[in-house]
Amino acid sequence: MVDISPKQPPIEKILFIQDDNVKYSGVQIENIRIRNNNNLVNNDYIDVHVSDEVKLESIKSFQSTISKSENGLTQMTQKGASTTLIKKRLSALYIGIAMLENAWYQKPHHVNQEDIADARVTLAGLFPSIENAYAKSRSGSPQRTLLERRIKALELAVQAIDDLSKNN
Q: 42 or 57: which carries more pLDDT confidence?
A: 57
pLDDT of residue 164: 86
| SS3 labels along the chain | CCCCCCCCCCCCCCCCCCCCCCCCCCCCCCCCCCCCCCCHHHHHHHHHCCCHHHHHHHHHHHHHHHHHHHHHHHHHHHHCCCCHHHHHHHHHHHHHHHHHHHHHHCCCCCCCHHHHHHHHHHHHHCHHHHHHHHHHCCCCCHHHHHHHHHHHHHHHHHHHHHHHHHHC
pLDDT of residue 50: 84
pLDDT tens, residue by residue, 77-114: 999 999 999 999 999 999 999 999 999 999 999 999 99
Confidence of residue 21 (pLDDT cuts 50, 70, 90): low
Q: Could you state, in order of their start, the residue ranges of all structural domains in the chain?
A: 49-167
Confirm whether pTM is higher than 0.75: no
Q: 107 or 29: which carries more pLDDT confidence?
A: 107
Percentage of the chain lying above the pLDDT 90 cut: 62
